[in-house]
Structure 1
Amino acid sequence: MKNAWLILSLVLFGCGQQTPTVDDLANSSMNTIQWQGVYHGVFPCPSCDGMDTTIELLPPNYYIIHTVRLGSDPYPFQGRGTFEWDKTGNIIILDRGHIYQVLPEHLYLLDVEHKRITGPDSERYRVDKIKGLDHLIGS
């Protein structure tokens, strides 16, 4: 019985994420891409025609978000706050709880386990970087 617990412990704790190395962090999105900017897309919405979303990421770790529930709510939401990078330097967590994977031209909305949302609409959980716009919604 002790051996079973030992094996189970090794499997559960040994298969977790490894701590990023200095090289991993140096090559992370946080350090290698121009993540600052304006991103836009329309997320799926079960109770509306879509969630039109614009996010502006500003240094050092600020964001402004603007959302409109298409087809149901004429009153847009605008919020602002701070975000943190996860330990890999590739994911940001907004202070309001949203989690995004940061890529050179996109942000992907992630689930609570920091994983990409899968299924037929998986590409709709992405906002694309809008080139040439500085502080579009921050003005």
Structure 2
Amino acid sequence: MNYLPASFLVASMLLLGCAEPDVSLSADNGATATVADAAHNSRNALDWDGRYEGVLPCADCEGIKTKLTLQQDGRYQLESQYLGKSNQVFREQGTFEWDSSGQIIQLQRPQPGGDQFFVGENRLWQLDMAGQRITGELAEQYQLHKAPPAELASAPLAGTRWQLTELMGQPLSANNPAYIVFSSTEPRVYGNAGCNRFFGSYELNTGQMRLRLSGIGMTQMACMQDTIEPEFSEVLQSFDNFNLTDDTLTLNRARMAPLARFTAAGPAEK
């Protein structure tokens, strides 16, 4: 996993001196972080799960192009690209926690910095290291906006050949035959489990990042050597959600580490 460079932390700390301790937030207009009614807060009153995007200020680059996906089960996926500095996209995933007010989330990251966000209506505000609203000339730029469901639905899960590159945390050779394809014209899934071909149906809920396979069948060819087929077949039956980035697909179960990781290998054969 690539960890984010120190400039992400620096960008979050730059305006600490501009933050006023009595500044607070609200879900509607960024006015207060104090919750008068504990039963009505961002966590339980807003449709907050989904993908948020934006370009955050950067200390030593043109901006940090950011995509942050929050899931209902408390997991997140973060993508960051340092514009004008590198074309590399840094990716990480993990869990997040809500504060006692139900208004602020904190990413449980291996390196601190830029990990607290106030959750508003279709927006996230990045907070400073003290959990306060960042003020100053760049204050309004510390926002991420929620991607509309239609955009998520058009993500290229279907119609792509996803090559299996990691199984149960173990990297696989680039020439292994296992892959999976989700049809773009009907809810049909097929692929290679390592020796035999499999096929079946799938149900997809992009809003909740849920994916389920059903009616899985498999050819019965005799495999002449040990394959990953038993382990991969078990994953196909046991995963219950997924993560999707530009060219990486992971199949997951609950909050566990990814059971399988795939890389886009081009369009599926017609």
TM-score (norm 1): 0.80
Q: Does 1:120 align with 2:133?
A: no
Offset of residue 26 of structure 1: 1.3
Q: Paired residue for 2:69, among 40, 56, 59?
A: 56
For residues 2-32 of structure 1, the C-alpha deviation after alignment (integer angstroms, 9 at most, x for no partner) is xxxxxxxxxxxxxxxxxx88x7221010000
In structure 2, C-alpha distance between the alignment counterparts of 1:73 and 1:95, rounded to whole Å: 25
> Which residue matches 1:39?
52
Structure 2 unaligned segments of length 5 or more: list them: 1-33, 153-205, 210-243, 250-270
- Name which structure has the greater RCO, CA cutoff 8 Å, separation 6+: 1
**Structural RMSD (CA):** 1.8
Moved more, 112-121 or 129-138: 129-138
Counterpart AA for 2:65: D
Offset of residue 75 of structure 1: 1.3
For residues 28-57 of structure 1, the C-alpha deviation after alignment (integer angstroms, 9 at most, x for no partner) is 100000110010000011210100000000
> Which residue matches 1:81?
94
In structure 1, C-alpha distance between the alignment counterparts of 2:37 and 2:106, rounded to whole Å: 19
Moved more, 129-138 or 73-82: 129-138
In structure 1, C-alpha distance between the alignment counterparts of 2:123 and 2:94, rounded to whole Å: 20
TM-score (norm 2): 0.42
Counterpart AA for 1:35: W
Point out the structure with the larger helix share. 1
* Structure with larger Rg: 2
Number of equivalent positions: 119
In structure 2, C-alpha distance between the alignment counterparts of 1:100 and 1:110, rounded to whole Å: 6
SS of residue paired to 2:38? helix
Q: Does 1:111 align with 2:131?
A: no
> Which residue matches 1:95?
108
In structure 2, C-alpha distance between the alignment counterparts of 1:39 and 1:113, rounded to whole Å: 22
Counterpart AA for 2:47: Q
In structure 2, C-alpha distance between the alignment counterparts of 1:39 and 1:83, rounded to whole Å: 15
For residues 85-114 of structure 1, the C-alpha deviation after alignment (integer angstroms, 9 at most, x for no partner) is 000000000001400000011000001221
Counterpart AA for 1:42: V
Q: Does 1:25 align with 2:38?
A: yes
> Which residue matches 2:12?
none
Offset of residue 125 of structure 1: 0.4
Structure 1 unaligned segments of length 5 or more: list them: 1-19
Identical columns (%): 36
